[in-house]
Structures are given as structure tokens and as C-alpha cells.
């Protein structure tokens, strides 16, 4: 079964073709970062318009890359939420219209389920049950994953998501948008511990997080006086250290508390090399296996949506109807059901 995946929940247009017997055949992403950069964040109206512009060329590209034609597509999976309403509507409208024209099913997919299952696309996939650490631009959650659709929320950020904290802190340090990757590059030149930042909720005894205080602490340091380039690098390194320390400690605690031995990391912050280093070291000591998505599949893409849709279709799920209008800008992951 050949499944076309379509992602348009925010500022990336992603299309991919996943074949249930041959694996991922093609995927292509167009990022709108350059377009939103001058505004310092995503402008929803511009995002929607750009998705419209990109969808058809990207579809042609993945079909050519896979050596397939439109008539080879057996099903279409698209991101139905959570995300920006207008951006989601572009993807869902396109997916439902194409599915209608090709007389194939169109399946709405949860964006975070896509992120969470993306490590299953790797050569050495994790086995259920596992703990998932979802660290993206909009979410920071620890989930117990018993199978596709069987998700239990164990803890989450009470304020900013980890990626959001990276982006806002990067902005305070004068780095561009989205600042997460840039901040991690700057952090390499600095030394953590030279300036001290808090480790929020490290000893809270639960699996929740809080990152907005860290950002405020950076703001205070930046406002106090003019920082030298090396002091800025030290601050970036200490910020990254603080975030990763809390994430690693709580993720490993979740695995232990649930009596499991596997951790899956998903979402854009999962691309952070320092986080991977610390997780790998901690997990090795605790005899826990950690799985990551391929680096290029950490941030938004169509491959994770195609894969997620394919899995659900294989497990017997059929589209419920509701069509293009059934997008859900807010959609708690734990509400999903097994197919
Ligand atoms: P959500 O998936 O919650 O809807 P999103 O789709 O915007 O949010 P992703 O695409 O998963 O989020 O990830 C983007 C986020 O990942 C941004 O906040 C970005 O700064 C962060 N990010 C990407 N690479 C890195 C990195 N190397 N270090 C830290 N953060 C990173
Ligand atoms: Mg994005
Ligand atoms: Fe995402």
C-alpha cells in the first residue's frame, strides 16, 4: 500500500510517499523560515498562503523521486491537528480533494502522534511499550506508549515548551528565528556553569516541567549589563545544560517508574546534540535503550505523517468522515484511540 503523507500544521510543508512493504520512498520539505524570519515568528496568514503555493510542486517532486504516478497512491494521510487552523485547512482541503479525485481514502493524522512514531521509521525501530519524550516547538510531554493510539500522559510542561524556551532565549541572545539550532551552535563555544541558571522543577517529585523561569533568568542576565561574546556563549551553554539536565533526569525517571526499558525521543529539540549526549550517557548507566528519529525527521515532515497514517490503515482504521473541515487546532494526544 502506497501512502501519501501531507504535513502543513505550521511553517513547514512536508510531503512523503511511504510504502508499507518497501518503506519510505521519497520525502520533501519546504521550510518557510526565511519568510517568517523578519517578523521574528510565524505569521499564520502568510504560512497558509505559502502552503498553497508549495503543495503541488512538492507532490510532483516526491512522485518523481519515488518513480510513481498519482494513480499509484492507495491512501492519503494528512495532519489534522494540532496546529494553526488556516495552515491545517490548506493541507486537509488539498488531501481530501486529491483523495476524492483518486477515489482513495483520506485519513486525518495527529501531528504529535506523527512525531512520536517517527523513530519507528529507522532501521532499528523501538518496540512497544515505551516512554516517549516529546520535545517540540509547542509541546514538552512524557507519554507512556503501549501501542499505536494507546497514549497515557505522565507529565508535561506547565508553561513554555522546550523548543519555545530555546527559541525565546535565542531571541534574547540576539540570534535569529527559530533560534534553537543557532543557540546550540553558540553553546558549543561556551562553558556551562560559569554563570548559574536554575534547574526548574528538577526535584519536584513529578514528571512535569517548567521552562519560562529559565528564559526570565536569561533576560535578567542580558539586561543587567552588556555581555561580551564569550559571556553570551557561556550563557547559551548554561541554558542548554539546564534544559537538558531536567529533560534527561525526568525522562529516565519516567522509564524507571513505569518499569520499562525503552525511551523514544521525538520532536525538533530531539535534534539537539547535547541532549542526545546526556541521554545516551544516562541511559547507558540505567540500562535503558534510547531511540531517536533520523536527524532530518526530528522537525516537521511528511514522512512521519505518511508512516502514521499507513500504520493506522494497516491496523484497520477507516476515515470517519467530516472531511477537510474536521481539523482540530487543539487536540490532546491522550484523546486518541487505538485503530
Ligand atoms: P509542535 O510539533 O509541538 O506542533 P513544531 O512543529 O513547531 O511544534 P518541531 O518542528 O517539532 O516543532 O520542532 C521545532 C522546534 O525544535 C523549534 O522550537 C526549534 O528551535 C527546535 N530545535 C530544532 N533543532 C534544535 C536543536 N538542535 N537544539 C534545540 N532546539 C532545536
Ligand atoms: Mg516548524
Ligand atoms: Fe512538530
DSSP 3-state percent helix, strand, coil across the chain (nearest 5): 45, 20, 35
- For residues 260 and 324, membership in a common domain is answered with no
Residue 82 lies in a domain: yes
CATH number at residue 227: 3.30.420.40
> Ligand 1 pocket, 118 CB below 6 A?
no
- pLDDT for 217: 97
Residue 285 lies in a domain: yes
The C-alpha cell at 231 is 559571556
Q: Give Cβ neighbours of residue 126 (< 8 Å, ≥ 6 apart).
A: 119, 120, 262, 264, 289, 291
Q: Note the Cα 266 to chain centre separation in Å.
A: 6
CA of 157 relative to ligand 1 center, distance in Å: 15
- For residues 34 and 64, membership in a common domain is answered with yes
> Ligand 1 pocket, 91 CB below 6 A?
no
| Residue of the CA atom closest to atom 16 of ligand 1 | 268
Whole-number Å distance between alpha carbons of 199 and 209: 10
> Ligand 1 pocket, 272 CB below 6 A?
yes
> Ligand 1 pocket, 81 CB below 6 A?
no
- pLDDT for 78: 98
- The total of structural domains in the chain comes to 2
The per-residue pLDDT string of the chain (339 residues; one tens digit each, 9 = 90 and over) reads: 999 999 999 999 999 999 999 999 999 999 999 999 999 889 999 999 999 999 999 999 999 999 999 999 999 999 999 999 999 999 999 999 999 999 999 999 999 999 999 999 999 999 999 999 999 999 999 999 999 999 999 999 999 999 999 999 999 999 988 899 999 999 999 999 999 999 999 999 999 999 999 999 999 999 999 999 999 999 999 999 999 999 999 999 999 999 999 999 999 999 999 999 999 999 999 999 999 999 999 999 999 999 999 999 999 999 887 888 889 999 999 999 999
- pLDDT for 191: 98
- For residues 107 and 141, membership in a common domain is answered with no
**Domain of 312?**
2-117+297-335
- pLDDT for 269: 97
CA of 221 relative to ligand 2 center, distance in Å: 28
- For residues 93 and 24, membership in a common domain is answered with yes
- For residues 288 and 301, membership in a common domain is answered with no
How many residues are given for the chain?
339
- For residues 155 and 258, membership in a common domain is answered with yes
- For residues 74 and 95, membership in a common domain is answered with yes
ipTM: 0.98
pTM for this structure?
A: 0.96
Amino acid at each position: 500500500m502506497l501512502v501519501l503523507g501531507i504535513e502543513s500544521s505550521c511553517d513547514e510543508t512536508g510531503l512523503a510517499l511511504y510504502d508499507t512493504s518497501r518503506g519510505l520512498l521519497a520525502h520533501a520539505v519546504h521550510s518557510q523560515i526565511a519568510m517568517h524570519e523578519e517578523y521574528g515568528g510565524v505569521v499564520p496568514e502568510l504560512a497558509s498562503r505559502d502552503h498553497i503555493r508549495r503543495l503541488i510542486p512538492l507532490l510532483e517532486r516526491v512522485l518523481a523521486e519515488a518513480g510513481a504516478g498519482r494513480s499509484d497512491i492507495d491512501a492519503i494521510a494528512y495532519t489534522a491537528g494540532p496546529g494553526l487552523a488556516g495552515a491545517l485547512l490548506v493541507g486537509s482541503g488539498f488531501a481530501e480533494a486529491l483523495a476524492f479525485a483518486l477515489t482513495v481514502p483520506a485519513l486525518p493524522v495527529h501531528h504529535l502522534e506523527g512525531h512520536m512514531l517517527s523513530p519507528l521509521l529507522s532501521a532499528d525501530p523501538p518496540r512497544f511499550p515505551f516512554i516517549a519524550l516529546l520535545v517540540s516547538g509547542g509541546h514538552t510531554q512524557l507519554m507512556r506508549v503501549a501501542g499505536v493510539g494507546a497514549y497515557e500522559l505522565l507529565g508535561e510542561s506547565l508553561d513554555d515548551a522546550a523548543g519555545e524556551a530555546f527559541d525565546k532565549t535565542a531571541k534574547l541572545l540576539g540570534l535569529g528565528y527559530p533560534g534553537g539550532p543557532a543557540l546550540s551552535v553558540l553553546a558549543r563555544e561556551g562553558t556551562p556553569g560559569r554563570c548559574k541558571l536554575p534547574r526548574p522543577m528538577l526535584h519536584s517529585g513529578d514528571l512535569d516541567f517548567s521552562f519560562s523561569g529559565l528564559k526570565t533568568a536569561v533576560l535578567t542576565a542580558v539586561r543587567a549589563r552588556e555581555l561580551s561574546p564569550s559571556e553570551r556563549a557561556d550563557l547559551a551553554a548554561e541554558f542548554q545544560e539546564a534544559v537538558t539536565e531536567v529533560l534527561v533526569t525526568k525522562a529516565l525517571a519516567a522509564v524507571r517508574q513505569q518499569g520499562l526499558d525503552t525511551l523514544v525521543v521525538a520532536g525538533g529539540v530531539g535534534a539537539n546534540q547535547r541532549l542526545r549526549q546526556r541521554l545516551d550517557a544516562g541511559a547507558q548507566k540505567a540500562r535503558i535503550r534510547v531511540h531517536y528519529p533520523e536527524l532530518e525527521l526530528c522537525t516537521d515532515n511528511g514522512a512521519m505523517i505518511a508512516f502514521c497514517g499507513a500504520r493506522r490503515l494497516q491496523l484497520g482504521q477507516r476515515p470517519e468522515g467530516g472531511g477537510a473541515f474536521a481539523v482540530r487546532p487543539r487536540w490532546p494526544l491522550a484523546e486518541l484511540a487505538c485503530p
